[in-house]
Structure 1
Amino acid sequence: MSLRRIDLNLFVVFQVIYDAGNLTQAAERLNVTQPAVSNALARLREQFQDPLFVHARKRMNPTAAADELIGPVRQALGLLEGSIAREEDFDPRDIKKVLRLSIGDVGEAALLPEFMSVLREKAPQIKIQAYQWERRQLARKLAASEIDFAIDIPMAVEGQLRQARLLNEHHVCAVRNDHFLSAEPSLDLEQYLSQEHIHVSSRRTGGGVADLALSKLGKVRNNAVRLQHYQAAFALLERSDFVLTTPLSLTNQYPCRIFELPFDAPDLELQLYWHASSERSGVSNWIRQTLIEAAHRLLKNRTNRTQE
């Protein structure tokens, strides 16, 4: 088979179908119609005299021929993309991309506003889609290009996964401004334990960093309310006598009085994760560096509202 007879754009479609496992999702990623993807697949099948993908429930599973083909196709497209990215002096304002992030509550609330302010100025055509995948799925989602980056707590990485440190968040205790404790110069352990607490966690069970730190002291706090998101926690905080243990940077966004925790608790560390294959893209490298710089600015400019 001669490459002169094949439209090389078909290989791009082939890789996206292979990664997505679904023609509708492939069309969305390619920003074309599903019939256009189906037509491209039909041409590929004719060229290679193989179905390449077969329906199995809602997925398009690759045939043995497709499994053999994907490696060379990835390598060839990666080399071509990397060569173009290195040679191209692109203007971020010309980048048209839907950037998909797996990110949790704290990163979304603290980091994304800072990152978005940079994008609005330097790369206004980039769109953001943010959602949170389970940690055990991140490596697969990044490898399949279903997400571009993930922001999560530190974890062991293997193979082609890469990481960089983003944020190191100090925890404080927050109460509403007219809380009966708000006039106190500081909060001691007895006062902290005597209060009813809002506990924020995406998990259905288990404690947080404060609970783990207190358990080492043989102490237990009274978690009266368990919520999934800090935005809801701060809304409740403003209307109640509950107290909230929270990353410091979030307190700058809500009216509250904050105290240093009366015990040692570990900071919340957030890492940025990406797949090594994306490093061949100049656009991806620019976005990654912009994310890291946004995190550094957030830490540098963060107002420390704690009172000694």
Structure 2
Amino acid sequence: MNKMHPTDKDLNLLIIFEALMETRSVSKAGERLNLSQPSMSHALSKMRRAFDDPMFVRVKNEMQPTLKALEVAEPVRQALSLARRQIFSRAALDLRTSSRQFTICMTDVGETCYMPMVINAVRNHAPGVRLRTVSPIVEKLEEGLESGGVDLAIGYFPDITNGGVFQQRLLRNSGFLCITGDKDIAARGELDLVSFQTALHIAVRTEGRSQEVIEKAMAAMGIHRNVVATIPHYLGLLTIIPQTGLTAIVPMDLISAFEGKEGITALPLPFASPSVEVIQIWHKRNHEDLSHRWLRTLVRDTLQRRVIG
């Protein structure tokens, strides 16, 4: 007896077999599968050759299965059920029992301003899910998104031009302000443009690009600052500013990290502050993945509620 081998037979015949078993009619099975009568007749002929058996014979007004068809009916049903459930199913994920880890790329600003809210939201909805952050170096970020090493990037990324990624706007931040350890400026309680330009500054140039927004705005207005030191992380200012009396520009979103700290005074900039658009980026390979869609939606809703709130 010949057997049907998946390597050399049309597996679509299994779907046609299932429809015939359920409808007992070539025409009704064809309607269900959107196949014409000639296509169904051709498929039935192929099925008979593949199984070396008539499979279905006409009895009165129905196509009745043969003993061979009845023999393979349950294995075929199980195989198709498994494929639909495990391969093609788009049912909602049960993330409450998932222990999956997601890797998110963001700067120290993002980790300070946004990550606590994202962590709390994930813990509320999927307590077993783990989060890991990595710093954004543009070249490695694109490589990470492509390879799957990075699931999601959150921040300001003007140089990501890879056509294989999707972007979604999350929010526009509140701009920038000054913090200073200069006692004279702090005593006055305000910072005019002359004092800003004559003060000694420490600049922060992170692996992210948001600081370029304020630098370009100052250049356009012809405003200069006297930078005597540069560091790669904003949170380093917590100890540097009180001990040196320097002045720095920081994103307004970070103000809670500096307010009330001894030796640090926060003041508005003496000129109009630009804002920065925060986006999330993901690779097209993950665009339709249910778990990634869940994470992106959670991040978007969480951060946008923060702005509304």
Q: Per the shorter chain, which TM-score range?
A: 0.5 to 0.7
Q: Does 1:284 align with 2:292?
A: yes
Aligned to 1:140, what secondary structure does the other structure show?
helix
Show the 5 A alignment for 1:23-172: 83-84=88-89, 86-87=90-91, 89-155=92-158, 157-169=161-173, 170-172=175-177
Q: Does 1:295 align with 2:299?
A: no
Q: Which amino acid aligns with 1:279?
A: H
Larger Rg: 2
In the TM superposition, residue 229 of structure 1 has moved relative to its aligned partner by 0.5
Judged with a 3 Å threshold, the aligned counterparts in structure 2 of structure 1 residues 82 and 117 are, in CA distance, closer, same or farther, namely: farther
Q: Which amino acid aligns with 2:178?
A: C
Which residue matches 2:61?
none
Q: Which amino acid aligns with 1:218?
A: G
Judged with a 3 Å threshold, the aligned counterparts in structure 2 of structure 1 residues 161 and 83 are, in CA distance, closer, same or farther, namely: same
Show the 5 A alignment for 1:190-269: 190-202=194-206, 208-254=212-258, 255=261, 256-269=264-277
Report how many aligned residue pairs link the two structures: 223
Aligned to 1:253, what secondary structure does the other structure show?
helix
Aligned-partner Cα distance in 1 for 2:152–2:250: 25
Offset from partner CA, 1:213-235 (integer Å, 9 cap, x none): 33233332111221111111222
Q: TM-score, normalised by structure 2?
A: 0.63
In the TM superposition, residue 112 of structure 1 has moved relative to its aligned partner by 0.7
Aligned-partner Cα distance in 1 for 2:140–2:85: 28
Is the contact made by 1:199 and 1:208 (CA closer than 8 Å) also made in structure 2? no
In the TM superposition, residue 167 of structure 1 has moved relative to its aligned partner by 3.5
Is the contact made by 2:176 and 2:251 (CA closer than 8 Å) also made in structure 1? yes
In the TM superposition, residue 3 of structure 1 has moved relative to its aligned partner by 5.8
In the TM superposition, residue 248 of structure 1 has moved relative to its aligned partner by 0.7
Q: Does 1:173 align with 2:178?
A: yes
Q: Which amino acid aligns with 1:294?
A: T
Judged with a 3 Å threshold, the aligned counterparts in structure 2 of structure 1 residues 241 and 300 are, in CA distance, closer, same or farther, namely: farther
Pairwise CA RMSD: 3.0
Is the contact made by 1:171 and 1:268 (CA closer than 8 Å) also made in structure 2? no
**Residue segments in structure 1 that go unaligned for 5+ positions in a row:** 5-78, 302-308
In the TM superposition, residue 278 of structure 1 has moved relative to its aligned partner by 1.5
Judged with a 3 Å threshold, the aligned counterparts in structure 2 of structure 1 residues 281 and 191 are, in CA distance, closer, same or farther, namely: same
Which residue matches 1:9?
none
In the TM superposition, residue 183 of structure 1 has moved relative to its aligned partner by 4.0
**Residue segments in structure 2 that go unaligned for 5+ positions in a row:** 8-83
Aligned-partner Cα distance in 1 for 2:238–2:142: 33
Judged with a 3 Å threshold, the aligned counterparts in structure 2 of structure 1 residues 108 and 216 are, in CA distance, closer, same or farther, namely: same
Q: Which amino acid aligns with 1:245?
A: I
Aligned-partner Cα distance in 2 for 1:161–1:123: 26
Further displaced range: 89-98 or 188-197: 89-98
Is the contact made by 2:95 and 2:129 (CA closer than 8 Å) also made in structure 1? no
Q: Which amino acid aligns with 2:104?
A: L
Aligned to 2:188, what secondary structure does the other structure show?
coil
Judged with a 3 Å threshold, the aligned counterparts in structure 2 of structure 1 residues 216 and 103 are, in CA distance, closer, same or farther, namely: same
Aligned-partner Cα distance in 2 for 1:232–1:136: 25
Offset from partner CA, 1:32-85 (integer Å, 9 cap, x none): xxxxxxxxxxxxxxxxxxxxxxxxxxxxxxxxxxxxxxxxxxxxxxx987843x
Which residue matches 2:279?
271
Aligned-partner Cα distance in 1 for 2:194–2:206: 28
Q: Which amino acid aligns with 2:112?
A: A
Is the contact made by 1:102 and 1:132 (CA closer than 8 Å) also made in structure 2? yes
Q: Which amino acid aligns with 1:127?
A: R
Offset from partner CA, 1:123-152 (integer Å, 9 cap, x none): 221112211242234333212211101124
Offset from partner CA, 1:137-172 (integer Å, 9 cap, x none): 433321221110112424354433101112322111
Which residue matches 2:44?
none
